[in-house]
Amino acid sequence: MRHSILILVAIAAASTATAQPDWRPPSTTLPTMPDRPTLDALGAWGDALARAADAPASAVQVLLEGRSAQGVARLVRLRAGRLPVAVLSDRNGDGRADLVEIFRNGVLAFQVIDADYDGRADVVRRYDTNGALMAEHPPRR
């Protein structure tokens, strides 16, 4: 009886969390950190981030934080209204993002990670609509 209840709870939890639509980064090369707060400054990644977050590009605000000595941001937050769209982090200060987090409806949907700091994505993680990790794989080339 106890196992049956646990199975029913697991099935109910799984049915409420749906998969995020599939998305691919526009490139395995992560974006350079921008020096100005515009989507255009992120190159191909700007529009790709807005699309991945299902936010109209015209509604996305770009905020730069913690500038380096070269004037580029160390952290970039993209948001549409109050909801986060994406966060780009330059954890080693080389001027290129090494962690890109993408949100849908305020919930983490994807992460693109440069684990070895060589400027190229090593891992893409996909999360369900509740923010639970669903898949982790190398980026598709």
137 in Cβ contact with 124 (< 8 Å): yes
What confidence score (pLDDT) does residue 20 get? 55
Smallest CA-to-CA distance from 50 within 137, 113, 119, 109 is with 109
What is the residue range of 30's domain?
Answer: 2-137
Percentage of residues of the chain with pLDDT beyond 90 = 65
Contacts of 76 (CB under 8 A, 6+ apart): 33, 34, 42, 62, 63, 64, 65, 86, 87, 88, 97
User: Total domain count for the chain?
Assistant: 1
Residue carrying structure tokens 């529009």: 47
pLDDT single digits (tens) 22-79 = 778 898 999 999 988 999 999 999 999 998 888 899 999 999 998 877 778 899 999 9
CB-based contacts of 105-109 (< 8 A; 24+ apart in sequence): 105/54, 105/129, 107/131, 109/20, 109/23, 109/52, 109/53
What confidence score (pLDDT) does residue 87 get? 97
Q: Look at the pTM and tell me if it is higher than 0.85.
A: no
Q: How confident is the model at residue 11 (pLDDT cuts 50, 70, 90)?
A: very low
113 vs 140, higher pLDDT: 113
Smallest CA-to-CA distance from 39 within 95, 77, 89, 94 is with 77
